[in-house]
Every structure is written in structure tokens, then in C-alpha cells.
Amino acid sequence: MKRRDFIYLTGMGTAATLIPGIPVVGRPIDPMQLLESIDLALKKRMADVALNAARSKGATYTDVRIGRYLNQFVITREDKVQNIVNTESYGMGIRVIANGSWGFAATDKLDNDNIAKTAELAVSIAKENSRLLTEPVQLAPQKGHGEVSWKAPIEKNAFEVPIKEKVDLLLSVNDAAMKAGADYVNSLLFMVNEQKYFASTDGSYIDQDIHRMWPVFFITTIDKATGKFETRNSLSAPVGMGYEYLNARPQDKIQGVTTLYRGRYDMLEDAKAGGAQTKEKLKAKSVEAGKYDLILDPSHLWLTIHESTGHPSELDRVLGYEANFAGTSFLTLDKWKSKNFNYGSKLVNIVADKTQVGSLGAVGYDDEGVKCGRWDIIKDGILVNYQAIRDQAHILGLNASQGCCYADNWSSVQFQRMPNISLQPGKEKKSVDDLIKGVEKGIYIVGDGSFSIDQQRYNFQFGGQLFYEIKNGKITGMLRDVAYQSNTQEFWNSCVGIADESDYRLGGSFFDGKGQPSQSSAVSHGSSTARFNGVNVINTSRKIG
């Protein structure tokens, strides 16, 4: 987690207390009221009002999303609780096609008259938009699913866990880090529940209950003699799980140069390690710039996957729709049409998957009512596909959407968003130690850090949290001031080894921004530890004088 994300999270929690009408723990409001679900029959009746009103005004297609979005923040610093906040947002978004064009409108007033007026407004907007059309919207066929539901397979609803239990955990995390050497510690639990209902003129009525959570801390340790400081963020991944994520089991532990976890997370043990590691970082030697073989842990590699694979394979970016805000892509259609564009080495297999259990992007159906699935993006190092939604499928010659349409709120219009994008594990039995043994001069990188990448997602630079020098197949000590530079093709073609499935883990982002107005989505990226040969490493320290 980057510091700016932590500040963003805590800022969201603080800002929530200033918004009128939002329930805040500590005020005379029962937080358990947030858990009460809305009656399914009522949702269907409201959706039908919108569908019928839009049809009567000339819409040839309509979809309705009724959303209830719950967030909870528990924020602490050292031995104090800084904030505890619950937020709730509830309303309806209506999207239509009329005269061959899209129109959208939303409302939080869910009586029949206001729903009908909002549907009529969406149709009016579509008709006005059609004046600018060069060609009508082409929707991929979609068979209606009838009345169906999907629930995240959580074991323990995080919203039902008492606040005191959460506070006690975070304060114990802070205390453990301080005792291990930290001078300052912030920690936070961020929990999300999306209750989403979708209906369309295709004949779908889909109810979904989605849960996500993110336990994070940010540690700072200061050298009192020099005034220099080092930081270490938590090595947790944000996940599509319940509170069970915080109950790590012995089989979840992966022991290496630092303790890592697969599927579950021990926040307390990570804080102890983090406090000690920031002290070690203060004494670490500064890296010498040059070419190194890199061993990249999944807690680091997820971000490189996100930026250099996830974003450039978004079809709307490829087509230039995002050029004004988020850039374009070097993975242009001509490269895909050639059927032999070399993206990486033959070891590199990257898939999109909206169904992966425990991932941030896991849902049963996307926000167009398309049943979600899995498909190849890179196969044996070759570009074979992109990410597409219903009105893009025809561009790729697909007869159906790939199910990656999403809106971050009922008031936001849905559009193409990144599904979970993951590097597949190696097919041969291979451990992290096996990868390290063959390295004569290298660096083992754990955790994500600062990064930079160009507008076409090609030339980039990535940092990390922890850096360990490798000499003659052995880790010899910690380094600092490390970042590596490459371009996407060069980097992925330098991949010469990937650990097997036993090392596979998820990382991810809770706040992937895109679009104007900007929206945020949550997405996971999995991998096993991988080796990349001959990568350019720079020294990031700033020397004055």
C-alpha cells in the first residue's frame, strides 16, 4: 500500500463524519441497522417501474441497478482511536438505449413517480446524445437469466464483528510495531459491503451481495542521530473476503526472508516484523546501480501486472476512449490481429478472471447482467485477447460480452473496468529457494512501492518495500534505494522462472481510478514468485552537494 492510498482512506473516514445523514458509530444510531437487507420483491417492483417507464418513452433497451453501498472505517494511531465511521449510500441508476444511443440518469428518491421520471430523463438524454452519433450502439446478445442471486462465500461478516474487537486488534498491532522499533504507527480496517440488484429488458433480475476488506498499517522509524527515517507498509492484500481473512492458520504461512501469508493474514505478526525491518532498513547499504536478476514476490509483482498488463489490455484504452484522462495502450488492435505479437517469454500466461474466490473483482454477474467467467489475455507469451463489454464485443468479433462492466455506485454509469488479471503459476515444481539458487547477482523484492509508467503503459519504473541482495544463490543482506526500470515487452520477455502453484498469492488495488468523472474499482492480481533476468536497477537516493 502506498502512503497516498493510506491518506486517501483515512481522509474518506474523516470526511464521512461531515456528511449529513450518514450513520456514524458513537452517535445514537444502531450500526446493525446497516445490515438490514432490502426486500427482493420490493426491488423487483421498483425495477419494473423503471423498465416500463423507459419502454413507454421509446427505449429499445433498459437496465436498472439498485445499489446499497456500506463502508466501515476503524482508524487508529499509536495508542489512540482516531475515527470510527459507518457510511451508507442507496439509490437507483437507469441506463437506456434510445435512437441508437446511450442515456443514463440516477435518483435516490425511490418512490414510483421519481423512478418513472428518472427513467424518462434517461431516455431524453439518449435521444439528445443520438444527434452526435456516427453509428448506433451495437450490443452483444445477452439471454436473460430470470431471477437469480449470488453471494460472496464469506465465513464471517466483518460488519457483524463488534467494534471493540476491531479496535483492540488495531491497538495491539500498533503496540507490537512500537515494541519492535517503530516510532509512529497508523493502522486501519476498511470494510465494504455492496448490495446490488440488476434488472434489464433482457429478462434478468439479479441480486448480489459482495464483501471486501483491507487491513493496513503504516510504520515509520527514525534514526535519532541523523534524522533519517524509513517506512514499511503492511504486506496484506485487500481481499474479497469476510473477517476470516484476519484469522491466519499455520498452513497459510510462507516463511522466507520475511513472514508472508497465502489466503489469510496475521496482522499482528506482520506488524512485529515491520517494526524490526524499518530499523534494519536504516542500516541497510544503498544499492549500486546496474543490471540485476530480480526475484519478485507476489506482494510486489501484483502492481507491475496491474500497470503493465491490466491497463494496456483494456479495450476502451486501446481504442482511445481514455486518451484524455488515463492514456492509451501500446497493445493496439493490429498487434492482436497479427496473432503472433510477442508480449513476453513462453512462460508468461496471463488470464482475466471475474470468478476467482477471495479476489476483489469476484462477482457472479457484471453490471450489465453478464454471467462472469475466465479467459486468456496472454498465452505462452502471445497477446490473444483484451477486456470487452457488450457494446465492444463486436469490435473483437465476439458473440458475447466478457463480463467486465462495472460502476462504483448506483449514481455512476457502468463502463469497462479491469477484471482480476493474474500471472499463472509455473507448471514445474519450483520453490522460491529454487529461483534464488540460480542467481549470481540479484535482488529479492517484497511489497509494493512508488511507481511511474507512461501513458501507453510501456516504459516504467517500480520500487518496493523490502529489498534483499542475492549473491551466488544466497541472500546476503538488506538493500535500500532500489527501483528497477524497463519496458513492458523487455520486462516480460526477461521472465525465466515462475514458482509453482503452492506459492500463488493475490495482491490488488482497492482504488483503481478511471473515467471522467472518475470512478474507483477494486481488482486483484495473483501470481507466484517470479524471476526476471538482466533488469536495470537504479539508485533512488537523492544526494545533495
Distance CA 219, CA 254 (A): 22
In this structure, are 378 and 428 located in the same domain? Answer: yes
Are 248 and 331 within one domain?
Answer: no
Is the CA virtual torsion 24, 157, 188, 519 positive or negative? negative
Element (H, E) at 202: none
291 and 187 in a single domain? The answer is no
Q: Per the domain annotation, does 239 fall within a domain?
A: yes
Confidence tier at 525 by pLDDT (50, 70, 90) = very high
DSSP label of 262:
S
From 249, 283, 317, the end of a domain falls on 283
> What band does 37 get if pLDDT is binned at 50, 70 and 90?
low
- Going 468 to 458 to 1 to 502, the CA torsion angle's sign is negative
Q: pLDDT band at residue 38, thresholds of 50, 70 and 90?
A: confident
How many domains would you assign to the chain?
A: 2
pLDDT level of residue 368 (50, 70, 90 thresholds): very high
Nearest to 33 by CA among 24, 44, 45: 24
Burial class (CB in 10 A: 0-12, 13-18, 19+), 489: middle
In a domain, 545, yes or no: no
Does residue 198 sit in the same domain as residue 108?
yes
pTM of the full structure: 0.93
Q: Is 208 found in the same domain as 355?
A: no
Task: Examine residue 465 and state whether it is found in any structural domain, yes or no.
Answer: yes
Q: Give the residue from 283, 316, 340 where a domain finishes.
A: 283
Same domain, 297 and 230: no
pLDDT tens digits, residue range 319-358?
Answer: 999 898 889 999 999 999 999 999 999 999 999 999 999 9
The kind and range of the H/E element at 369 are none
Q: Does one domain contain both 342 and 193?
A: no
Chain segment 211-220, per-residue pLDDT in tens: 999 999 999 9
CATH of the domain at 97: 3.30.2290.10
Residues 290 and 343 in one domain: yes
Domain span including residue 129: 3-283
Same domain, 171 and 245: yes
> pLDDT at residue 26 above 80?
no
271 and 353 part of one domain: no
- What number is the average pLDDT over the span 30-54? 82
Asked if the structure places residue 126 within a domain, the reply is: yes
Instruction: Determine, yes or no, domain membership for 544.
Output: no
Q: By percentage, how much of the chain surpasses pLDDT 90?
A: 88
What pLDDT shows up at residue 341?
A: 98
| CB environment 387-419: b (16+ within 10 A), e (fewer) | bbbbbbbeeeebeebbbbbbbbbbbbbbbbbbb
**DSSP code at position 131:** G
DSSP lists the bridge partners of residue 96 as 62, 103
In this predicted structure, the answer to whether residue 200 has a pLDDT above a threshold of 80 is: yes
Residue 448 falls in which region: left (phi positive, over 0), alpha (psi -120 to 50) or beta = beta
Residue that finishes a domain, picked among 283, 317, 342: 283
Residue 161: inside a domain, yes or no? yes
Tens of pLDDT, residues 240-269: 999 999 999 888 888 777 878 889 999 999
One domain, residues 7 and 30: yes
My answer on whether 167 and 131 are in the same domain is yes
